[in-house]
Structure 1
Amino acid sequence: MPLSKLDQSCSLDQWLSHLETLHPKAIDLGLDRIRTVAGKLGLAFPFIAITVGGTNGKGSTCAMLEAILLAAGYRVGMYTSPHLIDYNERIRLNGEIAGDAQIVEQFHAIDQARGDVSLSYFEFSTLAALRMFEQQKVDIAILEVGLGGRLDAVNIVDADCAVVTSIDIDHAEWLGDTREKIAFEKAHIYRPGRPAICADPLPPQTLIDYAHEIGADLWLAGKDFNFSGDRQQWGYGGRNRRRAGLAYPALRGANQLLNASAVLAALEALEDRLVVPQQAIRIGLSHVTLPGRLQIVPGQPALVLDVAHNPHASAALAQNLDGMGFYPYTYAVLGMLSDKDVKGVVSKLLTRVDHWYCAGTQGPRGLSGEALAEIVRGLLPPQGKDPITVASFENPVQAFTEAQKDAADNDRILVFGSFSTVGPILKEIGRKG
């Protein structure tokens, strides 16, 4: 694959458009290509690396780690995916989103170094983040796994501590169709002799066996660390450290204490290398933000945005909606990708939605609004005198605009199903705001 004709004078959008066409497959798991180019770039990863994998909860866990470590005074790089609105969201330096010029500089250097090695879009992104973190001399890099673990580009880094948040069925085409198979893939971010945190309360045996086989220092939720709480505060208990009187994380959701306890377990496991005062934990948890994860936008009607796109996340969303109080009607704007378990996601929320606005999503994995509407209609129970309605729209913004027209001030609008659904609507809200 020859070098591109782009250089540092080209825009980020030009580079991103080029990267989308550079590699024959959008998802092409494997570490050989990216390892080769990382070697050509001379990357040494001279920072403490915390890798975060899992089916759900990765973004929240990364965000809490970043907020706490920044409050403790460290220089922190964070790499996450996908983005909601702008590509730049994927790479953060000391809490700030990377600028276009910074990213373009990295893309150009990678392009020059790779020679005839073909890299995927995600591999380019990963190398750009890692090289930027090295140049900016961060103390800690927080790296979110994109897909699985074993063959994900992020796994070229030997993490000083690795966290697996939850394990459920998603991306079955690449990772397998059982929790056992998926857990095996995710467990490969663990390293011999290093802390390996698992926040899933019922981890498959394949994860436990792999961690023991390689000699990782496995920390299991409920065994090596746990949490407890009342309405006002919560506490963490680890192997050697207890933290009491903690304020709840600023992130909403029923699973956030599980994620937060995994964060504190990771910090406890690294405490011989990282000094994190109790006050930094308090400040970090109280200030952490993460758009698109049970995000409630002020105003009327109530607006809830959540990127939930698999049954596990959808079930958690349903539980969180139940805790919000009474709304006469809930209007759901739903858009999903074609390779997701649409029936599994929708079925968790069937009894909580009165009107469905099914939106088409873009790209090769996109699903039309009409196809989505047909799936929803097929799941509905026999209708009574107040029937559930299902409508289809070309895109999420059209669906959301129509839902806003139909909903009364005391109703609730829910937007969910994909980053490709929540992102455009967040952008629209920002444009109007």
Structure 2
Amino acid sequence: MADEVLRSTMPDSLAGWLALLEARHGQRIELGLARVAAVRERMAVDCDAVVITVGGTNGKGSCCAMLESILLAAGYRVGCYTSPHLLRYNERVRVDGKDASDRSLVDGFAAVEAARGDTPLTYFEHGTLAAWHVFASERPDVVILEVGLGGRLDAVNVFDSDCALVTSVAMDHMDYLGDTREAIGREKAGIFRSGCPAVCGDPQPPASLVEQAAAVGAQLWISGRDFGFGGDRQQWGYWRYAQPPAQGSLVKRGGLAYPALRGANQLLNASAVITALECLRARIPVSMQHIRQGLMLVDVPGRFQVLAGRPSIVLDVAHNPQAAGVLADNLGNMGFYSETWAVLGMLADKDVAGVVGLMAGRVDHWLLADLPGPRGLGAEALAEVVRGVSDKRDVRCFGSPADAFAAAQKEVGEGDRIVVFGSFLTVADVLAAIKAARH
């Protein structure tokens, strides 16, 4: 009877659940595993899938997408949990390459609510457990889990992984993870497990990450030391040693087409992904043909996404200095454009000056946008930073990224480009406006 009463008070739509969780928890971040672990145990749902956990500062979404695409090409059933989303919450939970249905997510949220009792959960924690409920129902062969923030205390770390992948370690979320790269590296390495492969796509990992791998007994593979890549304009090749650190025979895989994802940094991500799959080949064997096919078909909206047509429109969720530096390099490799129009909106807790400083040399016009919510930075405050870093005189403020983008469209020349960046919120608002204009 109590369960029936509880369920009768729950929302019966995804929109209802999201509104409830947002009202209950807002944007609050609470790191820690005890509450999530307790609710997971009471839910009593599990699946025997191979679990790959992906953490790191930048590149997580790309690596998750590559893993998913390759494994789908190989014929496996794949569950994938990522965050945040751009247009629909359903994007966060995918099964066999398709966004989860509203009904499966509603059932997941309800199962978590029924199990949590008086245990408080954040929006992200509730969503993580709901995603696991979806996967337990669908029974995929492989589950890919993207860390939301950090690693050691992130909700996804309540699930033991068979292989952990850390893409990069850079300065971000310092209020939660520490203000040094060593402190952040230690938090990222918290997803490593004893006796399991741990792949690091950062060629210069902090000592704390290496020490943590040794402390837990993980088998650590480091980019440039134990595996890597090389290539020319037409194709690239992958190599690895038989075992880390840099021991045994050398294995080489050549003749690979470049990933469909744009940007020079994608080979760092792709080689780390291949290493993770090589480490798991006894359980989920994948051929090089499947790797080639998966890399050629992979797609991730908002990661150096260049829309077709003229003027050129580039969408990138880059929101920290490392990502902004990569974006600036990628823009420099695109060829000649008469002028670059930047549509920028950022959160107040980011290194705004660091991001703007790295992009300043690529931008001719700054169209700055307010972002909503308690963490959103106002356009006027953003303009102060831009004027202090950039020598460009065209700095304008708008009420939303969509408004800033509309202004750019009115003035941009055919040989120009518009670059939308600074936050998932910024890219999402512009994508929604583009989608609305097309329908």
Q: TM-score, normalized by length of structure 1?
A: 0.96
1:272 maps to a residue whose letter is A
Residues 413-432 of structure 1: matches in 2 within 5 Å?
Answer: 413-432=418-437
Paired residues of 2:316 and 2:420 also in contact (CA < 8 A): yes
2:112 is aligned with 1:102: no
| Cα distance, 1:401–1:4 mapped onto 2, change above 3 Å | farther
What residue is the counterpart of 1:224 in the other structure? 226
Report which stretch shifted further, 292-301 or 306-315.
292-301
1:48 to 47, 50, 57: 50
1:115 to 114, 117, 122: 117
Q: Deviations over 1:262-313 (max 9, x none)?
A: 0000011111111101111111000000000000011121100000000000
1:148 maps to a residue whose letter is G
Paired residues of 2:169 and 2:202 also in contact (CA < 8 A): yes
TM superposition shift of 1:102: 1.0
Residues 114-153 of structure 1: matches in 2 within 5 Å?
Answer: 114-153=116-155
TM superposition shift of 1:364: 1.3
2:336 is aligned with 1:326: yes
2:133 maps to a residue whose letter is R
1:405 to 390, 405, 410: 410
Paired residues of 1:160 and 1:194 also in contact (CA < 8 A): yes
TM superposition shift of 1:261: 0.2
1:52 maps to a residue whose letter is V
2:258 is aligned with 1:248: yes
| Cα distance, 1:135–1:7 mapped onto 2, change above 3 Å | farther
What residue is the counterpart of 1:389 in the other structure? 394
2:169 maps to a residue whose letter is I
What residue is the counterpart of 1:359 in the other structure? 369
Aligned equivalents of 1:72, 1:6: Cα separation in 2: 43
1:428 maps to a residue whose letter is A
What residue is the counterpart of 2:350 in the other structure? 340
1:63 to 59, 65, 88: 65
TM superposition shift of 1:128: 0.9
Paired residues of 1:51 and 1:189 also in contact (CA < 8 A): yes
Paired residues of 2:7 and 2:110 also in contact (CA < 8 A): no
1:203 to 179, 182, 205: 205
TM superposition shift of 1:406: 1.1
Aligned equivalents of 2:6, 2:228: Cα separation in 1: 51
2:235 maps to a residue whose letter is Q
Aligned equivalents of 2:390, 2:287: Cα separation in 1: 52
What residue is the counterpart of 1:269 in the other structure? 279
Q: Deviations over 1:74-111 (max 9, x none)?
A: 00000000001111100000000011111011111111
Paired residues of 1:6 and 1:15 also in contact (CA < 8 A): no
Residues 292-311 of structure 1: matches in 2 within 5 Å?
Answer: 292-311=302-321
- SS state of the match for residue 291, structure 1? coil
What residue is the counterpart of 1:384 in the other structure? none
Aligned equivalents of 1:197, 1:139: Cα separation in 2: 21
- SS state of the match for residue 193, structure 2? coil
The size of the alignment, in residue pairs, is 427
Q: TM-score, normalized by length of structure 2?
A: 0.95
Q: Deviations over 1:35-68 (max 9, x none)?
A: 0010001133421000000000000000000000
TM superposition shift of 1:7: 5.4
Aligned equivalents of 1:430, 1:364: Cα separation in 2: 27
TM superposition shift of 1:23: 3.6
Aligned equivalents of 1:7, 1:425: Cα separation in 2: 36
What residue is the counterpart of 2:171 in the other structure? 169
Paired residues of 1:238 and 1:268 also in contact (CA < 8 A): no
Paired residues of 2:50 and 2:161 also in contact (CA < 8 A): yes
2:161 to 159, 162, 185: 159
Aligned equivalents of 2:267, 2:11: Cα separation in 1: 46
Q: Deviations over 1:211-254 (max 9, x none)?
A: 01111000011111111111111111122332110100000011
1:285 to 295, 299, 307: 295
Aligned equivalents of 1:25, 1:282: Cα separation in 2: 40
1:357 maps to a residue whose letter is L
Paired residues of 1:335 and 1:416 also in contact (CA < 8 A): yes
1:91 to 81, 90, 93: 93
What residue is the counterpart of 2:245 in the other structure? none
Paired residues of 1:23 and 1:118 also in contact (CA < 8 A): no
Aligned equivalents of 1:349, 1:194: Cα separation in 2: 39
| Cα distance, 1:4–1:302 mapped onto 2, change above 3 Å | farther
- SS state of the match for residue 241, structure 2? coil
- SS state of the match for residue 191, structure 2? coil
TM superposition shift of 1:6: 6.5
1:180 to 149, 163, 182: 182
| Cα distance, 1:297–1:426 mapped onto 2, change above 3 Å | same
TM superposition shift of 1:333: 0.2
Paired residues of 1:169 and 1:182 also in contact (CA < 8 A): yes
Identity %: 56
Paired residues of 1:358 and 1:392 also in contact (CA < 8 A): yes
Aligned equivalents of 2:252, 2:192: Cα separation in 1: 25
Q: Deviations over 1:390-427 (max 9, x none)?
A: 00001000000001111111111110000000001111
TM superposition shift of 1:257: 0.2
TM superposition shift of 1:134: 1.3
| Cα distance, 1:159–1:374 mapped onto 2, change above 3 Å | same
TM superposition shift of 1:380: 2.4
What residue is the counterpart of 2:360 in the other structure? 350
| Cα distance, 1:7–1:246 mapped onto 2, change above 3 Å | farther
Aligned equivalents of 1:352, 1:220: Cα separation in 2: 32
Paired residues of 1:8 and 1:105 also in contact (CA < 8 A): no
